[in-house]
Amino acid sequence: MIDKNSTREEVIEAVRQDGWELYYASDELKGDCEVVLEAGKKDGNVLKYASDELKGNRDFMLEAVKKYCWALIYASDELKGNRDFILEAVKNYWRALEYASDELKGNRKVVLKAVKQNGEALQYASKELKSDRKVVLEAVKQDRWAFLYASPELRADRNFVLKAVRQDGMALYYASKELRSDREVIKEAVKQDVGAMQFAIIK
């Protein structure tokens, strides 16, 4: 087991064997990019032992997100609220939006970037953006099941649902009960994907 007096080389060798050895490293080495990234190769959770300075380091955290997709959970609050950083992070991994500040979860540009990577990112968007037609359509375009996360108002909006099912018929599944029995909506959904018929409510 290493201790706070262990050399950098000894610590690197130790964390290669067991990343959790980082816990016993000196504060200086917990702030060493190479040491911490090496420690995280087997289990990214050891990033929680990185120094506060590293957790606030843009380049380090972006590299960490590339290696461990959910690493943003350990980023500083300042980085989680930095629009440029979050835009870069969601480009590497859409789920980074989950750990962004509430303000950025309501930033249209950030959320659009995330849902273009994966429609499921819509679940982390602000309440307002879950009602944003462009954002929701983009999400459904990437993942039909993303319609689940749209606001109830949008899922009950006939004109919007028609657009959604014309883009992906299976989106009918998450339309309001009333619209799932609307003949025109059903027709458009089935025209796009015959499998959507299973979600229609025929009266």
What is the per-residue pLDDT for 42? 75
Going residue by residue through the chain (203 aa), what tens digit of pLDDT does each one get?
Answer: 887 888 999 999 999 999 999 999 999 999 999 999 999 887 888 999 999 999 999 999 998 888 887 788 999 999 999 999 999 999 888 999 999 999 999 999 999 999 999 999 999 999 999 999 999 999 999 998 899 999 999 999 999 999 999 999 999 999 999 999 999 999 999 999 999 999 999 87
pTM of the model: 0.83
Polymer length of the chain:
203
Burial tier of 159 (Cβ tally within 10 Å: 0-12, 13-18, 19+): exposed
Report the alpha-carbon distance of residue 134 to residue 72 in Å, rounded.
27
Report the alpha-carbon distance of residue 39 to residue 25 in Å, rounded.
11
What is the per-residue pLDDT for 92? 84
Q: Cβ contacts of residue 19 below 8 Å, gap of 6+?
A: 38, 39, 40, 41, 42, 43, 46
Q: In this structure, how many other beta carbons lie within 10 angstroms of the beta carbon of residue 4?
A: 12
| H runs (alpha helix) in the chain | 8-17, 33-39, 52-55, 58-67, 77-80, 83-92, 102-105, 108-117, 133-142, 152-155, 158-167, 183-192
Report the alpha-carbon distance of residue 47 to residue 23 in Å, rounded.
10
Report the alpha-carbon distance of residue 120 to residue 125 in Å, rounded.
10
What is the per-residue pLDDT for 2? 84
**Residue 52 near residue 61, CB atoms below 8 Å:** no
